Amino acid sequence: MSKIKTSREVVIAIDTWDDIFSDFDPRPLSERVLSEDFIIELKQRYRETSKGDFIVTICAPKLLEDKKSEHTVSKRLKRHFLHRALMRKKENLRIRVKGVIFVLCGICFLTFLTLIAYYKLFNDLAINIISIVVMPLGWFGIWEGFSKIVDPTVAAIREEKFYTKLSKAQYRFTYIEIKGNKVNSEKL
């Protein structure tokens, strides 16, 4: 039986492109930094509908309608979220590598302790004193390392998933024309 993919639509209304991009950044739309408020709003909406594919519909005033700007904004959003997803993935991998290093250090400490005890390289008092320090370090390294390898933080995994999903999302634009008290929308 094949899996049925579901799509979740998130609708966000904007007044200007500055609602998506930082209004402090004077560069063109293709280079501007994304607004933190926009990202926070997307995260909030993502938590509400995290299953399935993501469709982000941006509702804007009719005067912003421009195919070139739409393409630029969609491309910029996808590029930004792909970059953030790759950075988060890299950070998660770094944490796992750190976990492997912890495990290896723990094994080295315990192996060292075992070898000095087995071959009686020091007298019993020295071995006992060394074991007081080295044994906890060894076990800490092993358990903490396995913890980093097996169970990275839930927040880090969620963040990577969020950015990956938004980098693959479909971005649509709907323009709203205000005539008196009437609101007409035209979907593109």
What does the pLDDT look like over 40-86, one tens digit per residue? 998 888 877 667 788 999 999 999 999 999 999 999 999 999 999 99
CA-based nearest residue to 158, from 98, 96, 92, 100: 92
Helix (H), strand (E), coil (C) string for 153-174 = CHHHHHHHHHHHHHHHCEEEEE
What does the pLDDT look like over 146-161, one tens digit per residue? 999 887 778 888 899 9
Domain ranges across the chain: 7-187
Q: What is the DSSP string of 113-168?
A: HHHHHHTT-S-HHHHHHHHHHHHHHHHHHHHHHHHHHH---HHHHHHHHHHHHHHH
